[in-house]
């Protein structure tokens, strides 16, 4: 058949027409549209049964109640619990982003690991749990066999007082090592100040909910201080109440808290003690203090004569002489009129409270400063009163049986701690990680052979972490129990990865700052995602592996058993409450003395309930008799701390007293050294060469502790805080123009310790001559969502040493800037 041109055209036209009229094009278009909706690389969330499970967030010592929504076995959302006494519904952004910690494959250790390459080479071999535990047990056994049990050291970041912390400490104790170190915290400073003035070792408790006037000397109350869930929900309540509290925020920068406050004062950083004493001066001078309290319950306020008949100048006269508003104005930069005004307002308030601290309170502060601020509470008679600073009631947790010490352990425990904490040099401090670092770096051989790291990332989170990293290089064997591939565990030899907070049961005993006894208990929300093991179980297995008396001190088969044994004490006390009704906030209960009896008739049912509800608490305060309240030698609140007197006398024995206190870093003389006073801390670097001050700041939406910042939090950072990989420092426009810096300029911030590459954000709210730098970024480990973003100010902190405590002063580094 001839196929003509004509036929071809007919065929083509007909074919085209036919195809267009057929359903084919429509079908194809529809298919394409559907395909664009179901691209295989767009994740499709698996369906499943919805459920919720209650727990407690243990990412910080705040212990907020959380409720986790699950689909099937997956956790899909974290929400705050309104039926939990601490937070009453809210949680902080870090807690909210918790699932990004749980499920982030890029930052978690998935199994026990043994280093195979050189240290820091990031070459690892996955090993079995038994093998890993065996290796460590053998090593510790070896130390004990050679009579060096003290060469085992541990750095513990677990929440103080928690069962985990107790367990780690018990291991060291049973092995025979005194070198149990904890990560330093702001709370330590509070505890020390109250110990020195009131006696008794306990956390500070602030009945903020019942105050009507707060002077915060630098606490970022709404920037992540204390238990953020509690603080934010408390603030919400205050803000909505018409007759709300008066809040004075003392801060060198217009922080969120400062902007929310009724009054913002910005003294020069480090002069807060002088400001507090200036306020005290006015209160004393105008006789606005609580005379009843001062007369009956205070020691050292007026001039006094000691047993030897020596005349001592009292706190009141010292303050009147040395801290007049005029003098304080010169020191702090705060006008005398303002000081007088603040003092009058403070003293005339119904229930004022003064708070000491810096930022989130993750790092220790200055002891004298804390004392000076606490002295205000005493002057106003706010100690052990509703709406004041409470002396916490003990939680009736049961104690474990005593540790069995074998001769090796007994011998080991007599050796001096590497960090010399608790010795005459640092009599009041429990642990000094900085001194530990120094001791290792200064000697030839490391005094520690095996280092155990629990829930801590000191390389990144402590001031001058680089020195710590140098010290690590000298320690022969490092074991990390961290669940995360953080900077510190990257330098370890053996990784025994813990579960994350949503996979395990741990407790928090007395969340930070809470003013009533509270025991918080988290429960596993999901099955462990990886081949990790609860650190508590690891410690117990380890002890069993070491054997002998060490094993004997760990009679439990697993962690939960050890924990339950303590909780039994709560049951035995017959007190407490487990459920919480939001309409009956705890602050109301605190008005009354007394306690609440428990309705439980068996431990088992009570345990089940604690597990389910995540807490046990007593919604009241016992306000003990005044005779028991102060556990000082004078049985009073001591403006003149006899504890300091005893300690300094002991330290200076055989030397010149003045030389001795100079060695301790105390610049003042005479009786003032035993009393709250302003101690000028001189930075190492010269002002002429380093004209600016570096002030690390903490943001509530930037994790600055040992948990790496989750990606969701990166979303909430402003682009004047982080842009691409550059961290911004806040600089006052005037200061910036002096150094030729503009908005967005790239610059080097240089301290004697090193330099940081940053960009500049001009911020009117920044104090002139101070460079404010956020803490929490600058990671060299973790995944690509975190690593290499920003810089870590801790690296260039030129730390001074706080007198008395020996803790690092991290807010006083002199720096210069160079535009690049």
Partner 1 sequence: MDLALIPNGVQRCSLKVFVPWMLLWLVILAGGLLSAFLCFYKGLNQTNMNHHFAFGLWIVFDLSLIALGAGAFFSGFLTHIIGEVFIYPYVEDLKAIINAAVVIGFICYSAAIAMLGVDIGQPLRGWFIFWHANVHSMLTEVSFCITAYLGVLTIEYLPLILSNRKLNEIRELNIFGSNLHHAMALFAAAGTFLSFFHQGSLGGLFGVLFARPFAFREGFSIWPWTFFLFILSSIAAGPSFTLLCVWIAQKVTGKELVKRSVFTLLAKISGWLLATYVILKILDTISWAYGVVPRAGLSFMDFYEGPYGVWLIVAEIGIFGIIPAIILITPRLRERNDLLIVGALMNITGIVLNRFVFTIQTLAIPVMPFGKFMSYFPTWQEWGIAMGAVGYGILVFSLSYRYLPLFPQEAELNPIRVLGKAVTDSGIVKRG
Partner 2 sequence: MKKEDRTQGTRYGMVIDLDTCTGCGVCSVACASENNVSVLYDESDKTRNITWMQLYMVTNGKGFPETEVVCIPRPCMQCDNPPCVPVCPSTATRKDPNTRIVSQIYTRCIGCRYCMAACPYQARSFNWFDPSFPEGMDRYLSPEVSPRMRGVVEKCSFCHHRLMRARAKAYADGRRDLKEDEYIPACVEACPTKAITFGDLNNPKHRVSELVKGPDAFRLLERLGTEPKAYYKSTKGWVRRMADNYLSGEFKGRG
Which residues would be at the binding site for partner 1 (CB under 8 A)?
A: 5-6, 9, 29, 32-33, 35-36
Do β-strands 352-359 and 213-219 pair in parallel, antiparallel, or remain unpaired?
parallel
CB 208 within 8 A of CB 351: no
- Return the one option of partner 2, partner 1, none that residue 35 interacts with (CB less than 5 to 8 A, by type): partner 1
Q: State which residue, 681 or 700, has the beta carbon closest to partner 2.
A: 700
* Distance separating alpha carbons of residues 177 and 414, to the nearest angstrom: 9
CB 579 within 8 A of CB 613: yes
Q: In angstroms, give the least distance from the CB of 483 to partner 2.
A: 13
Q: State which residue, 442 or 583, has the beta carbon closest to partner 2.
A: 583
Q: In angstroms, give the least distance from the CB of 252 to partner 2.
A: 9
- Return the one option of partner 2, partner 1, none that residue 421 interacts with (CB less than 5 to 8 A, by type): none
Closest CA to 530 of 55, 84, 126: 126
Q: In angstroms, give the least distance from the CB of 739 to partner 2.
A: 16
- Return the one option of partner 2, partner 1, none that residue 275 interacts with (CB less than 5 to 8 A, by type): none
In a 3-state reduction of DSSP, which class is residue 758?
Answer: strand
Q: State which residue, 391 or 713, has the beta carbon closest to partner 2.
A: 713
- Return the one option of partner 1, partner 2, none that residue 102 interacts with (CB less than 5 to 8 A, by type): partner 2
DSSP, res 150: G
* The two three-digit tokens of residue 173, written as one number: 């104790």
Q: State which residue, 27 or 669, has the beta carbon closest to partner 2.
A: 27
Beta bridge partners of 238: none
Within 10 angstroms of residue 414's Cβ, the number of other Cβ atoms is 10
* Distance separating alpha carbons of residues 414 and 407, to the nearest angstrom: 11
- Return the one option of partner 1, partner 2, none that residue 29 interacts with (CB less than 5 to 8 A, by type): partner 1
Q: State which residue, 36 or 601, has the beta carbon closest to partner 1.
A: 36
CB 360 within 8 A of CB 704: yes
- Return the one option of partner 1, partner 2, none that residue 6 interacts with (CB less than 5 to 8 A, by type): partner 1
User: How would you classify residue 654: left for phi > 0, otherwise alpha for psi between -120 and 50, otherwise beta?
Assistant: left
Closest CA to 383 of 124, 126, 743, 637: 637
Q: In angstroms, give the least distance from the CB of 7 to partner 1.
A: 12
- Return the one option of partner 2, partner 1, none that residue 243 interacts with (CB less than 5 to 8 A, by type): none
- Return the one option of partner 1, partner 2, none that residue 96 interacts with (CB less than 5 to 8 A, by type): partner 2
* Distance separating alpha carbons of residues 670 and 732, to the nearest angstrom: 40
Q: In angstroms, give the least distance from the CB of 86 to partner 2.
A: 11
Q: In angstroms, give the least distance from the CB of 32 to partner 1.
A: 5
Q: State which residue, 33 or 310, has the beta carbon closest to partner 1.
A: 33
Q: In angstroms, give the least distance from the CB of 36 to partner 1.
A: 5
Q: State which residue, 334 or 521, has the beta carbon closest to partner 2.
A: 334
DSSP state letters, 30-63: HHHHHHHHS-TTS--PPP--EEEEEEEE-SSTT-
Q: State which residue, 41 or 242, has the beta carbon closest to partner 1.
A: 41
- Return the one option of partner 2, partner 1, none that residue 768 interacts with (CB less than 5 to 8 A, by type): partner 2
Angle between helices 559-573 and 163-175 (to 10 degrees): 120
Q: In angstroms, give the least distance from the CB of 426 to partner 2.
A: 36
Q: State which residue, 41 or 583, has the beta carbon closest to partner 1.
A: 41
Closest CA to 674 of 645, 633, 637, 631: 645
Q: In angstroms, give the least distance from the CB of 235 to partner 1.
A: 24
Do β-strands 722-723 and 800-801 pair in parallel, antiparallel, or remain unpaired?
unpaired
Beta bridge partners of 54: 67
Q: State which residue, 290 or 730, has the beta carbon closest to partner 2.
A: 730
Q: In angstroms, give the least distance from the CB of 42 to partner 2.
A: 5
Beta bridge partners of 477: 450
Residue that has been written with the tokens 């394409």 in this structure? 32
What is the arrangement of strands in the sheet containing 180-182, beginning at the earlier edge strand? 124-126, 113-115, 494-495, 477-480, 450-454, 152-156, 180-182
- Return the one option of partner 2, partner 1, none that residue 661 interacts with (CB less than 5 to 8 A, by type): none
Task: Give me the sign of the Cα torsion angle 257, 260, 262, 263.
Answer: positive
- Return the one option of partner 2, partner 1, none that residue 700 interacts with (CB less than 5 to 8 A, by type): partner 2
Q: State which residue, 9 or 20, has the beta carbon closest to partner 1.
A: 9
Q: In angstroms, give the least distance from the CB of 744 to partner 1.
A: 11
CB 376 within 8 A of CB 345: no
Beta bridge partners of 508: 520
Q: In angstroms, give the least distance from the CB of 728 to partner 2.
A: 10
Residue that has been written with the tokens 């989170």 in this structure? 461
* The two three-digit tokens of residue 172, written as one number: 């060291």
Q: In angstroms, give the least distance from the CB of 30 to partner 1.
A: 10
Q: In angstroms, give the least distance from the CB of 9 to partner 1.
A: 6
The CA-based dihedral angle spanning residues 174, 175, 176, 177, taken in that order and rounded to the nearest 10 degrees: -110
Closest CA to 430 of 651, 639, 220, 203: 203
- Return the one option of partner 2, partner 1, none that residue 9 interacts with (CB less than 5 to 8 A, by type): partner 1
Burial of 18 (0-12, 13-18, 19+ CB in 10 A): exposed
- Return the one option of partner 2, partner 1, none that residue 711 interacts with (CB less than 5 to 8 A, by type): partner 2
Q: State which residue, 86 or 494, has the beta carbon closest to partner 2.
A: 86
Q: State which residue, 36 or 401, has the beta carbon closest to partner 1.
A: 36
Q: In angstroms, give the least distance from the CB of 733 to partner 2.
A: 8
Q: In angstroms, give the least distance from the CB of 258 to partner 1.
A: 20
What is the H or E stretch that residue 452 is in? strand 450-454
CB 729 within 8 A of CB 761: yes
In a 3-state reduction of DSSP, which class is residue 326?
Answer: helix
Q: State which residue, 5 or 242, has the beta carbon closest to partner 1.
A: 5
* Distance separating alpha carbons of residues 104 and 712, to the nearest angstrom: 12
Closest CA to 331 of 372, 283, 377: 372
- Return the one option of partner 2, partner 1, none that residue 469 interacts with (CB less than 5 to 8 A, by type): none
C-alpha angle with apex 376: 372 to 381, nearest 5 degrees?
A: 140
- Return the one option of partner 2, partner 1, none that residue 106 interacts with (CB less than 5 to 8 A, by type): partner 2
* Distance separating alpha carbons of residues 578 and 163, to the nearest angstrom: 19
DSSP, res 260: H
Q: State which residue, 593 or 742, has the beta carbon closest to partner 1.
A: 742
- Return the one option of partner 2, partner 1, none that residue 44 interacts with (CB less than 5 to 8 A, by type): partner 2
Q: In angstroms, give the least distance from the CB of 812 to partner 2.
A: 20
Q: State which residue, 52 or 716, has the beta carbon closest to partner 1.
A: 716
Closest CA to 727 of 736, 738, 715, 719: 719
- Return the one option of partner 1, partner 2, none that residue 32 interacts with (CB less than 5 to 8 A, by type): partner 1
Q: State which residue, 256 or 634, has the beta carbon closest to partner 2.
A: 256
What is the H or E stretch that residue 751 is in? strand 746-751
Radius of gyration of the chain (CA): 30
């Amino acid at each position: 058949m001839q196929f003509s041109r004509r036929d071809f055209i007919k065929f083509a036209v007909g074919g085209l027409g036919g195809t267009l009229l057929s359903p084919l094009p429509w079908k194809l278009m529809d298919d394409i549209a559907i395909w664009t909706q179901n691209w295989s690389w767009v994740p499709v969330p698996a369906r499943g049964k919805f459920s919720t499970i209650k727990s407690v967030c243990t990412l910080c010592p705040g212990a907020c109640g959380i409720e986790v929504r699950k689909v099937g076995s997956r956790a899909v959302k974290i929400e705050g619990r309104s039926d939990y006494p601490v937070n009453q519904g809210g949680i902080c952004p870090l807690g909210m982003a918790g699932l990004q910690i749980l499920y982030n494959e890029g930052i978690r250790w998935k199994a026990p690991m043994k280093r195979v390459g050189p240290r820091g080479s990031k070459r690892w071999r996955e090993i079995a749990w038994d093998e890993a535990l065996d290796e460590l047990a053998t090593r510790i056994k070896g130390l004990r066999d050679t009579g060096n049990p003290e060469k085992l050291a541990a750095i513990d970041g677990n929440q103080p007082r928690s069962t985990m912390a107790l367990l780690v400490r018990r291991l060291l104790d049973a092995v025979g090592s005194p070198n149990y170190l904890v990560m330093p915290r702001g709370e330590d400073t509070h505890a020390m100040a109250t110990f020195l003035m009131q006696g008794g070792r306990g956390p500070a408790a602030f009945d903020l909910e019942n105050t009507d006037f707060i002077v915060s000397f630098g606490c970022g109350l709404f920037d992540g201080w204390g238990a953020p869930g509690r603080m934010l929900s408390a603030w919400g309540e205050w803000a909505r109440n018409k007759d709300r509290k008066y809040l004075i925020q003392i801060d060198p920068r217009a922080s969120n808290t400062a902007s929310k406050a009724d009054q913002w004062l910005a003294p020069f950083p480090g002069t807060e003690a002088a400001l507090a004493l200036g306020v005290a001066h006015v209160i004393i001078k105008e006789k606005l203090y609580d005379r009843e309290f001062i007369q009956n319950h205070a020691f050292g306020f007026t001039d006094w004569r000691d047993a030897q008949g020596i005349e001592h100048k009292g706190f009141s006269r010292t303050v009147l002489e040395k801290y007049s508003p005029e003098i304080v104005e010169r020191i702090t930069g705060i006008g005398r009129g303002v000081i007088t005004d603040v003092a009058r307002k403070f003293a005339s308030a119904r229930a004022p409270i003064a708070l000491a601290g810096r930022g989130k309170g993750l790092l220790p502060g200055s002891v004298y400063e804390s004392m000076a601020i606490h002295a205000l509470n005493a002057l106003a008679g706010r100690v052990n009163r509703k709406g004041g600073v409470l002396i916490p009631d003990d939680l009736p947790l049961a104690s474990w049986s005593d540790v069995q010490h074998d001769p090796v352990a007994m011998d080991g425990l007599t050796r001096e701690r590497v960090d010399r904490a608790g010795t005459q040099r640092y009599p009041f401090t429990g642990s000094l990680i900085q001194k530990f670092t120094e001791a290792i770096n200064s000697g030839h051989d490391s005094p520690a052979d095996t280092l155990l790291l629990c829930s801590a990332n000191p390389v990144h989170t402590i001031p001058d972490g680089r020195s710590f990293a140098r010290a690590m290089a000298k320690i022969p064997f490092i074991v990390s129990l961290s669940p995360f591939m953080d900077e510190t565990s990257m330098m370890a030899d053996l990784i025994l990865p813990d579960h994350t907070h949503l996979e395990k049961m741990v407790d928090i005993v007395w969340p930070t700052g809470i003013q009533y006894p509270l025991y918080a208990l988290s429960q596993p929300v999901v099955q462990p995602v990886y081949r990790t093991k609860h650190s508590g179980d690891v410690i117990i297995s380890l002890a069993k592996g070491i054997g002998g008396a060490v094993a004997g001190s760990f009679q439990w088969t697993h962690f939960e058993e050890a924990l339950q044994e303590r909780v039994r004490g709560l049951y035995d006390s017959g007190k407490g409450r487990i459920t919480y009704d939001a309409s009956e906030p705890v602050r109301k209960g605190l008005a009354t003395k007394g306690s609440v009896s428990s309705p439980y008739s068996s431990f088992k049912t009570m345990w089940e309930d604690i597990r389910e509800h995540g807490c046990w608490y007593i919604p009241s305060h016992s306000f003990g008799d005044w005779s028991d309240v102060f556990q000082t030698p004078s049985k009073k609140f001591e403006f003149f701390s006899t504890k300091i007197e005893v300690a300094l006398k002991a330290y200076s024995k055989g030397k010149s007293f003045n030389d001795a206190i100079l060695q301790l870093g105390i610049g003042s003389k005479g009786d003032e050294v035993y009393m709250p006073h302003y101690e000028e801390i001189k930075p190492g670097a010269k002002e002429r060469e380093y004209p600016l001050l570096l002030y690390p700041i903490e943001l509530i939406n930037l994790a600055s502790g040992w948990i790496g910042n989750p990606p969701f939090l990166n979303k909430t950072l402003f682009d004047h805080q982080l842009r691409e990989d550059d961290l911004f420092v806040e600089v006052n426009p005037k200061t910036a123009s002096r150094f030729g810096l503009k908005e967005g300029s790239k610059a080097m911030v240089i301290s004697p310790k090193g330099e940081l590459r940053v960009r500049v954000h001009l911020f009117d709210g920044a104090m002139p001559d101070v460079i404010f730098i956020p803490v929490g970024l600058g990671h060299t480990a973790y995944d690509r969502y975190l690593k290499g973003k920003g810089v870590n100010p801790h690296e260039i902190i030129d730390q001074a040493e706080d007198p008395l405590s020996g803790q690092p002063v991290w807010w006083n580094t002199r720096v210069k800037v160079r535009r690049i």
